[in-house]
Copies of this chain bind each other. A is one copy, B any other.
């Protein structure tokens, strides 16, 4: 059914070598020969077999992307950007969901996938960087988001402590003092949540506000419903906070949803800041103030990093730790007045 390079060669009356040259454009071929070969290719509908090429090259041109959840807006958007960056480098992306499950993260590396990929970009939730790096070897990996300690693999992340500090400081600057946080994940070794909590507490202290455990809302996952649940607990036991810093926009949206049902107005009674700058936040009601990581930059950095490792594997460059920029985008959910400010 499918024709091979040899078939094309036979048809064009040349050797396989010449066809290969025409296809890859690697060496000079006489214009006339090239034309004849091209004609044969078209007639036979020939397309190179990637498996054979990979076998030969020792490379597949495929990289893996392992994220906890594809249906989370933040990861979906990031995945889209990464796929774009990959295409720019003629790389193909295989996406896998780990659901934050340690077993899934491990299987990705030990399973057959480990051999089909030239490299892996992973946002780990359960495994430590060390465990990942040692399991993956010699597969190059790039870590997204933060997991301490560093030094085992390349990593790209925003400065979570500073970002969280800025978000919290923004709430304090509005005159709010009972500033709660939503999104701690003590059950996971989620470094990101820990760092954001650290920034949150740092900002409070700097403003002379003592952090209080009952203001720190833990969550199981980072979805709207978890945010709603945490918000409910804060309203019931947290001593009525007047502001919330949620560690993700989804959590923030869930919290706002619940606050509304409890008759708490946002931003009047409760100012809310999220994290991620997902599209829903821009079109929700009220529009959501959020920490916006530069996702395109993250995608570029991660892909650049991985490509470097793949194409110069012998290069003994120590793991790099890249920080992507972020900025606080102020919208209605922290507006000083009740007036809508627009997008």
Q: Enumerate chain A interface residues (CB-CB to B < 8 A).
A: 1-2, 47-52, 54-55, 60, 62, 69-73, 76-77, 79-80, 83-84, 92-97, 110, 112-116, 138, 223-225, 228, 253-254, 256-257, 260-261, 279-280, 282-285, 340, 342
A283 to B224, CA, bound (A): 7
Number of this chain's copies in the complex: 2
Would you call A83 and B95 a contact (CB within 8 A)?
yes
Q: What 9 A-B pairs have minimum CB-CB distances, sorted nearest first?
A: A51-B54, A76-B76, A70-B80, A51-B55, A71-B77, A50-B116, A224-B283, A280-B280, A71-B80
Task: Select from chain B the residue with minimum beta-carbon distance to A284.
Answer: B284
B-chain residues with CB within 8 Å of residue A138 when the two chains form the complex: 1-2
B-chain residues with CB within 8 Å of residue A50 when the two chains form the complex: 60, 112, 115-116
Consensus secondary structure, chain A interface: helix
Decide: A69 near B60, CB < 8 A? Known: A52-B55, A342-B261: no
Please name 5 pairs of A and B residues whose Cβ atoms are closer than 8 Å in the assembled complex, sorted by A.
A51-B51, A51-B54, A92-B94, A92-B116, A261-B340
B-chain residues with CB within 8 Å of residue A51 when the two chains form the complex: 51-52, 54-55, 60, 115-116
Would you call B73 and A92 a contact (CB within 8 A)?
no
16 new A-B contacts, CB < 8 A, other than A51-B116, A92-B96, are A47-B112, A49-B55, A49-B115, A50-B112, A50-B116, A51-B55, A55-B55, A70-B77, A71-B77, A71-B80, A73-B76, A83-B97, A84-B97, A92-B94, A94-B95, A223-B279
Task: Select from chain B the residue with minimum beta-carbon distance to A279.
Answer: B224
Contact of A70 among B48, B76, B225, B253 (CB under 8 A): B76
A97 to B299, CA, bound (A): 15
Would you call A73 and B70 a contact (CB within 8 A)?
no
Among A51, A115, A223, chain B packs the most CB atoms within 10 A around the CB of A51
Task: Select from chain B the residue with minimum beta-carbon distance to A69.
Answer: B80
B-chain residues with CB within 8 Å of residue A254 when the two chains form the complex: 283
